Amino acid sequence: MKRVLITIILVLAFFYTGLMACTDIAVGKLATVDGSVISAQSVDGSYDSRLLIQPAADHEPGSMTPVWEWIIYADRRPLVQLGEIPQVEHTYQWIQTSYPFSNEKGLLIGETTIYGARATANGPDAIMTIEQLEAFALQRCTTAREAIELMGALAVEYGYRESCARGEGLTIADGNEVWFFEVYGVGPLWKPGDGPGAIWAAQRVPDDHMTVIGNASIIGEIDLTTNRPPNVDEDHFLICDNYLQSAIDLGLWTEGQEGPFVWKKVIGAIGNWNPRVWRVFSKYQPSGNWEYGSDTSAYPFSFKPDTQVSVYDIIELYRDVMADTPADQLANEAWNYVTNPGTDREQTRKSDLATPQPGSSIRNLIGLPSTQRLIAVQSTSCFFINQTREWMPDTIGNVSWFGLGNGHKAVVVPIYCGITRVPESWKNVNRGISKINRDEAFWAFYTVDRLSQQRYGDMMPRIDAVRIPLQQKMYDMQEAIEATALALYETDPALANEFLTNYTNSLMIEVERAYWDLADQLILRLP
């Protein structure tokens, strides 16, 4: 009976999780051109993309704080309290979205869902979702290690609860280092008091390396005598005490089993091909000769890029649609048609309908093969590229380049971690309405994306004519803006922060207005 119950729960979990997906990038400080540490995420799916500044606060000793469910959908459904835990005396200012990503101390986080082993799916008594863990870490921690240890401890004590899928991964950065953290449940029948309620591990990305996570585990072999990967020192790896026993209890490993304990195979249940992983490896380390369609499950945890990368390189990576690769949908000849056949004016042309991001309807109509999962997808709610620099004050050195909607067509704005407000239009998103809301920034980017999908060949150059100058201006201004902020900081840190707040807000308003104007122009281009 117990086995039947577990099977039913797992089947229901399969249908619940759907096809949600996010892509994470992490880059160590010696792999970047300026010494930045980078943690980045695309929030792919219909999630809460509001930007909410949660202020720092002091709390009464001995007080409790609630544990919430549905943080990722808080723009459209009420939060549900699952429990409570002891509050700390002081919490830091942090920025909340569906997946919170920064705090005033320069702790920066990106998330990616991992479809781990079915047996790890947790049941209703676990209460710590990944987004709630992120929120607690940003409220309470200043370094990546502190965040990992806190989230791991909370998940073990209170049980990891899936909100999207069985496992989750986080890229966690501070000014000095970046880690990748994975967490899973311990089965659908777990209850408080049964023992550890989660399995977790975290590995540091070497300073001269970068990595990519495309909804799949990347932690490799664990030496069962040292409890860490071979050739990785103890300072670069953290793991829960119960990982092996929990794997045995779940039937994922047999006590005394021969052969390597490969985390991403045993716990993560990784597949053999991930086009996003291949794309990043092949783009930034072409010397590795990474073959398209190869077994990406055999790829290493991270790699050293052939040349150092900039934060702007990573921003552009989130626009990637596999151009000039075997997965390039725009290059498919099915988009071509012949004009004036049989005459001296006969010509083969590519349809304006041709797009690198075709939906299933158009693919079926013209016979396109099923597209590979891209980094830039239409389902993106928001995306951010976190940049942290330890040699600057926290409020200046730590910035999240934040964009709304499809990364292929959007603009990102620099959101410095200490800013105290954002425009009202960026704090509100209501997707449950039957018309476009011009008082909400999300709709400007969403409208441009959906309109351009109707005539990509005609409209994309018009988008780029707006997007590229706006984006380049921000890149070009960053050094001067930060120099001004540093000068102000020397005499008045609060004034420096207000300067950056005003700067960020002005950019947000500027790009929002530009995209509404662009949307109006594109409407006139419809057939």
Tokens linked to 57: 């606060």
List, for residues 6-57, the tens digit of each pLDDT value: 333 333 333 333 345 799 999 999 999 999 999 999 999 999 999 999 999 9
- Kindly state whether residues 83 and 230 are assigned to the same domain: yes
- Kindly state whether residues 444 and 503 are assigned to the same domain: yes
- Rounded Cα gap, residues 423 and 443, in angstroms: 14
Residue 344 in this model has a pLDDT that exceeds 80: yes
Question: What local confidence, expressed as pLDDT, does residue 123 receive?
Answer: 82
What separation in angstroms does the CA of 382 have from each of 77, 363, 434, 473?
Answer: 19, 25, 21, 21
Last residue in a domain, options 275, 307, 339? 307
- Kindly state whether residues 431 and 359 are assigned to the same domain: no
Q: Write 454-458 long-range contacts (CB < 8 A, 24+).
A: 454/353, 454/526, 454/527, 455/352, 455/353, 455/525, 455/526, 455/527, 456/352, 456/353, 456/354, 456/355, 456/356, 457/350, 457/351, 457/352, 457/353, 457/354, 458/352, 458/525
Backbone angles phi, psi at 23, to 5 degrees: -115, 130
- Kindly state whether residues 475 and 337 are assigned to the same domain: no
Number of H helices, E strands in the chain: 13, 22
58 close to 77: Cβ distance less than 8 angstroms: no
- Kindly state whether residues 345 and 457 are assigned to the same domain: no
- Kindly state whether residues 220 and 301 are assigned to the same domain: yes
- Kindly state whether residues 338 and 445 are assigned to the same domain: no
With respect to residue 399, please indicate whether it lies within any of the assigned structural domains: no
118 close to 252: Cβ distance less than 8 angstroms: no
266 close to 117: Cβ distance less than 8 angstroms: yes
DSSP letter, residue 55 = -
With respect to residue 74, please indicate whether it lies within any of the assigned structural domains: yes
Segment 184-199 shows an average pLDDT of 96
- Kindly state whether residues 299 and 434 are assigned to the same domain: no
- Any idea which of 136-150, 278-292, 358-372 has the lowest mean pLDDT? 358-372
Which of 311, 306, 333 is closest to 37 using CA atoms? 311
- Kindly state whether residues 106 and 164 are assigned to the same domain: yes
With respect to residue 55, please indicate whether it lies within any of the assigned structural domains: yes
Overall pTM surpassing 0.85 (yes/no): yes
Segment 198-207 shows an average pLDDT of 98
- Rounded Cα gap, residues 101 and 40, in angstroms: 9
With respect to residue 433, please indicate whether it lies within any of the assigned structural domains: yes
Which of 117, 195, 111, 190 is closest to 147 using CA atoms? 111
Phi-psi region of 347 (alpha: psi -120 to 50; beta: other; left: phi over 0): beta
Tokens linked to 82: 């699952």
Number of independent structural domains in the chain? 3
Residue 471 in this model has a pLDDT that exceeds 90: yes
- Kindly state whether residues 338 and 284 are assigned to the same domain: no
- Kindly state whether residues 68 and 134 are assigned to the same domain: yes
Tokens linked to 159: 């049980």
64 close to 116: Cβ distance less than 8 angstroms: no
Which of 510, 492, 408 is closest to 450 using CA atoms? 408
With respect to residue 287, please indicate whether it lies within any of the assigned structural domains: yes
With respect to residue 36, please indicate whether it lies within any of the assigned structural domains: no
With respect to residue 275, please indicate whether it lies within any of the assigned structural domains: yes
Query: What average pLDDT does the structure give for the chain?
Result: 94
- Kindly state whether residues 338 and 432 are assigned to the same domain: no
Domain coverage including residue 346: 329-366
Q: Kind and range of the H or E element at 6?
A: helix 2-17
Question: What local confidence, expressed as pLDDT, does residue 371 receive?
Answer: 79
List, for residues 416-451, the tens digit of each pLDDT value: 999 999 999 999 988 766 789 999 999 999 999 999
With respect to residue 35, please indicate whether it lies within any of the assigned structural domains: no
